[in-house]
Every structure is written in C-alpha cells, then in structure tokens.
Structure 1
Amino acid sequence: MSPRKAAVIVGVAMIMIALCAGFAYGFIHSSLVITGNAAATVSQIQQNTPLFRAEIFSWFLILVFDIIIAWALTIFMKQIDAHLSLLGGWFRLIYAMILGIAISNLVLVSLILSGDNYSISLPADQLSAQVMLYLSAFNSIWSLGLIVFGLHLLIIAYLILKSDFIPKFLGILLVIAALSYVLIHSMYLFLPQYETTTTLIEKILSLPMTAGELGFGIWLLLKGGKRPKKASEF
C-alpha cells in the first residue's frame, strides 16, 4: 500500500472515531449515566434501551477503527522509522484490546437490564449496585487503556518531530495530548480522591488533546503521503 492510501485510511478512521466517540460518550453515556445516583441510572437505561445499545454499537465501531488505524498508521509512519512505527502500532492494538474488555462491561449491563428472569428476580438495590459496578469497571478499564493510548501518541509525536515532511506543530500538539492522557487517566485510576481536580484538568486540556488528534487526522486526509510537485522545466 502506498503512503498516500494509508494516510487517507488513517485520516478517515480518526474522524470517524471522533464522531462515534462524541455520539457514544458525549451524548448517550453522559445523558444516561447519572453520577452518584444508581436508581436513576438504571431507570434511564431501561427507558432508553435502544439508545444504550446504540452506544455499545458505536464503541464497537471505534474498536474496529482503532485496529484499522494501528495497521494503516504503521504503514505510513514506517518511512520515518520502521521499528518505532511498529512499536506505536502495537501500543494502539493493546489499547484496542483493553477497550474491548471495557466495552464488555456495557454489554453485561445491557444483558442484566434486558428484562429477563434474572433481572426481575433481583432486588432493586442489588440490581442497581451491580449495574453501577459494571459501569465503574468500564470507566476504570477504559482509563487504563487511555494511558496506553497516551504512550502510543507519544511515539507518533516523536516520529512526527523526527520527520522532515509533517508539520512540527502537529508533533508538539500530540506530545501535549499524549502527556495529558497519561496524567489525567493515571489520576482517575490511582488518585480517585482527587476526581474533581482531575475533571477540571481534563476540561482545561481537552482542547489541545482534541486539536492534536483531529489536526493530525485532517492533515493525513488532505496532505499525507502526497508527493511534492516537481518544478516545471523550461
């Protein structure tokens, strides 16, 4: 595959991930999961079962796109450094594997609240506690995956800064994004008592994090792999 084709595939996949993540987490998850209120969360999911299943499907699409990016980005970046490109691809695949484990917890929530004999036989408080446990597991496992994802971005940022054809500001933005992912999700995992502070830091750093990833994706889609035009000869 040519670098240009690989770049287009990565660019499209990155944009699709941004759209799917905005729909799955930004719209559905944030509206259905009520922090600190298990009963309300269970009620919301039960009343919006098709929407919750749409979230799960969106996460599955994100997982598929991450695997595609791991493959195509390795092909594109190997022109800079084949070994580091492969390492970056493996980190992305490991992240995808962890994300898949996290998504399985959402599937379990859907099964528990599907209205079969199992959910009916459980007391309401026990059912709510079990649902919140799986939702909490989703967040914690995904945070672990995002730490690995940050390491993947750090490798990609280094390759960009090392290259002589990718804008350096994209590498700088990805360095900021990578360190932000590692910092924020390490705090979520290992310093849960500072969740309010972590959430504030995440809001502050969300702009450069998004700009780095989307900026690189758009550059790949529009410019990546294009050969420079030769000067006209007279």
Structure 2
Amino acid sequence: MSTSTTTTAATTSGSTPPRVAASWAAGGYLAIFVLAVFANFLALSPVIHPGDAAATAAALQDSETSFRLGAVAFVGIFVIDVVVAWALWVLFRPVHRDLSLLSAWFRLTYTVVLGAALGFLYAAIWLAGAPDAFGEANDDAVLLALQTFDFTWVAGLAAFGTHLVVLGVLLLRARGPRWIAWLLLAAGAAYAVDTVAHLLLTDYEASADLFLAVVAVPSVVGEMSFAVWLLLVAGGRRSAPSAHPEPSRAHTREAV
C-alpha cells in the first residue's frame, strides 16, 4: 500500500493526520505564550504585594480593567490547553500510545486546576469592590484570594511539569531534537521543585526571584523551541514522530 493510500485511509477513517495535529499544537503554544505573558506579568504580578494587603487591594482597584483582561487571558489559556493536550496526544501516539495518553492526562489535570483557580480571581475582584459586614475594606480577603489563586495555579503546575517530563521522554523515543527533549525534562523538574518549595520554605518570597529564574529559563527556551519544532513538523520540514524500535539481538549479532 502506498503512502498516499495510507494517508487517505487514515483521513477517511476520521483520524487526524500528524502534521495537522502538529499545527494545532504549535498554534496553541504560541497563543498560550502571548496570553500568559499578558495575564501573569502585565495584569496579575503588578497587583500582588505580598505582606501588604492594603497596597494589593488599592492596586487591584486602580488597574481593575487590565486585571479583568488578565483574567480573560487565563480563561483563554484554560480552553487552548485542552486543544494542545489533544493535539500532542494525536502527534505522539504512534511513538508510545500509553505514554502519550499519560502526558495528555497530566496536562488536562493542570488545566482543570487552573480553571478552578480562576474562581479566586473573581473573588478578589468582587471583594475589592464590596465592604465587609462592618463597612471596612476587605483588603486582607483580597490578598488572601489572590495568594490562593497563585498557589492553586502553582500546585497545578506540578502536574504540568510531569506532563513536560513525559513529553520529553516521548521526544527522545521519537528521536526528535535531544536538546529540546532535555530542556523539557529540566523544565518539568523545575516546576515540581518550585511547587515543593512553596510548601516547605517558610519565607518563599525571599527566594522567589531565584526560583522564577530556575523555572523560566528551561521552560521558556524549551517550550518555545518545541513550538518551533512543531511548526517545522507541520510544514513538512521535519518528519512526524514515529516509533523507532530497538534492533533485535539477532540483527545486532549479524551487524557484528
């Protein structure tokens, strides 16, 4: 059976071609990158002032519009991540179906946690504009809601990090770019370490910049490089991932 006949049969049966899945995954990665930069660094981070509830509440009130847009960006990430999880499962299932499914489940777990965490952003917006039972500002409650969102998101990133580790293993098995695979593995481990640090360190904020660098460097470089590789696969400049079985012992003896 020719390659064209096989592709036609796969398309007719309703399965998505790997290059189409790669294009969806690449587009999703690029969209998430843009939305995440806006939501986290331009809308959320300028508002939170750890240890200063009054300043946090005031910053939220002063930049409520951009904060709401940041929340909408998080909703976009929540939706797009489901598409990316599906596309990567389709792309890597020829390599190892079970590992590809496991990778997708870990990413979906992170996505569900992020969706649940968005409720705390809404709570912060509502509390910032509503006085408490005694007519006082809800400054402490606003800060607590934002910090709860932040940690809930961080907890979900532990699952996302595990997804990256499994994805790195799949890329190695598919004989893709090894340096990208190792960056994904490093980024996944960094996410897990950061989540544990949030729980174990009594003064995490004192080391927050260090942990941000540890997570951001392999994550940004690795995931963006992976997105570029996906674009090359989608455009036909790189072969789609496929299984590469190890040579049998008989073949090895013959080679020797």
Q: Quick one: distance in 1 between partners of 2:235 and 2:168? A: 17
1:28 to 43, 46, 59: 43
Letter in 1 for 2:63: N
* 2:30 match: 15
1:220 to 230, 233, 249: 230
Kindly indicate whether residue 139 of structure 2 is the aligned counterpart of residue 124 of structure 1.
no
Q: Quick one: distance in 1 between partners of 2:125 and 2:134? A: 15
Kindly indicate whether residue 115 of structure 2 is the aligned counterpart of residue 100 of structure 1.
yes
- Segments of structure 1 that go 5 or more residues without pairing to the other structure are 230-234
1:155 to 141, 161, 166: 166
1:196 to 199, 203, 206: 206
CA contact (8 A) 1:21 1:58 kept: yes
Letter in 2 for 1:186: V
Matched residue SS, 1:119? coil
Kindly indicate whether residue 148 of structure 2 is the aligned counterpart of residue 133 of structure 1.
no
Q: Quick one: distance in 2 between partners of 1:49 and 1:207? A: 30
Kindly indicate whether residue 199 of structure 2 is the aligned counterpart of residue 186 of structure 1.
no
Letter in 1 for 2:25: V
Task: Return the TM-score normalized by structure 1.
Answer: 0.89
After superposition, give the CA deviation of every residue in 1:123-176 in whole Å (9 maximum; x if it has no partner).
435x01111111111111111100111101010000001113x21111011011
* 2:187 match: 177
Q: Quick one: distance in 2 between partners of 1:141 and 1:93? A: 15
Distance apart, 1:101 and its partner CA: 1.3
Matched residue SS, 1:124? coil
Distance apart, 1:221 and its partner CA: 1.6
CA contact (8 A) 1:174 1:209 kept: yes
Between stretches 194-203 and 167-176, larger displacement belongs to 194-203
Matched residue SS, 1:35? coil
Q: Quick one: distance in 2 between partners of 1:16 and 1:161? A: 25
CA contact (8 A) 2:113 2:152 kept: yes
CA contact (8 A) 1:144 1:189 kept: no
Matched residue SS, 1:58? helix
RMSD across aligned positions (CA):
1.9
Letter in 2 for 1:206: A
After superposition, give the CA deviation of every residue in 1:55-102 in whole Å (9 maximum; x if it has no partner).
110000010111111111100010111111011101111100111111
- Segments of structure 2 that go 5 or more residues without pairing to the other structure are 1-15, 240-256
Q: Quick one: distance in 1 between partners of 2:60 and 2:207? A: 28
* 2:244 match: none
Matched residue SS, 1:196? helix
* 1:146 match: 157
Q: Quick one: distance in 2 between partners of 1:192 and 1:99? A: 24
Q: Percent identity?
A: 32
After superposition, give the CA deviation of every residue in 1:183-232 in whole Å (9 maximum; x if it has no partner).
11210133243442353133244222211111101210222473769xxx
Between stretches 215-224 and 80-89, larger displacement belongs to 215-224
CA contact (8 A) 1:105 1:138 kept: yes
* 1:58 match: 73
Structure 1 pair 192–68 and aligned structure 2 pair: CA distance change class (3 A) = farther
* 1:232 match: none
Letter in 1 for 2:167: I
Computing the radius of gyration from Cα coordinates, the structure with the larger value is 2
